[in-house]
Amino acid sequence: MNDFHTTYNLSRGRFDEAVFPLTNSQLNWRSHPGSLTIGEMALHLAGVEIWFSGQILGLELNPSETLLTRCATEGVVNDLPFPISAVAITTQLVEQSLNNARKFAIRLFEADSPEIRAIQLQSALGPVISAEGAMARFSFHPAYHHGQAYLLITAPEFPEA
């Protein structure tokens, strides 16, 4: 297991522990206009993991995985609407998406090699980065969104379970 995989397991595990128990209304609660909901964060996280892993490993994605890759950028780092509606963001979709994306990430970490790390790909923010840079980013990425989710979950207006 490489260091990226170790960091990913810790940060992703904490994100999943915070998000999996939430209800549909909690996943879709928006603290203010223009902010992400926890459900959108979760699908964004899954989308980044699938997008990066798919690009690096040259994987063919099915339609639901391709839709998730749109969540990596649309409505998050650009002005497009989020590609999945709140009605569709359910506990089942979030858990299924995160579990599937984890398989992509683990597959990439297990394939780790100097040749893999040297592969170039487009990041969610636009610049071309190495696969090593991608693994560094998405091993920390869940921790970033876990912090955001924690702030939402502890907000006084956050819906009761």
pLDDT band of 149, cuts 50, 70, 90: very high
The predicted model gives 126-133 an average pLDDT of 92
The structural domains of the chain, with segments of one domain joined by +, span: 3-29+36-153
Q: What digits encode the pLDDT tens for the residues 67-105? A: 999 999 999 999 999 999 999 999 999 999 999 999 999
What class does CATH assign to 3-29+36-153? mainly alpha
Instruction: State residue 131 phi and psi, 5-degree precision.
Output: -60, -30
- Identify any residues that bridge with 90 across adjacent strands, giving them in sequence order: none
Query: What pLDDT, on the 0 to 100 scale, is given for residue 9?
Result: 96
Backbone angles phi and psi of 89, in degrees to 5: -85, 100
Query: Can you tell me the distance from the alpha carbon of 95 to that of 21, in angstroms, rounded to the nearest whole number?
Result: 10
* Token pair recorded at residue 130: 């190495």
Axis-axis angle for helices 63-70, 91-110 (nearest 10): 90
Q: Please check the confidence at residue 3 and state whether its pLDDT lies above 90.
A: no
For residue 36 the two structure tokens come to 């992400």
Percent of the chain at pLDDT exceeding 90: 91
Does position 161 have pLDDT exceeding 90, yes or no? Answer: no
Q: What is the three-state SS of 11-59? A: HHHHHHHHHCCCCHHHHCCCCCCCCCCHHHHHHHHHHHHHHHHHHHHCC
Distances (CA, A) of 97 to 39, 109, 116: 11, 18, 24
Is pTM beyond 0.85? Reply is yes
How many angstroms from the chain centroid is the CA of residue 99?
Answer: 11
**Average pLDDT of the chain, as a whole number:** 95
> How much is the pLDDT for 124?
77
Q: What is the pLDDT of residue 138?
A: 84
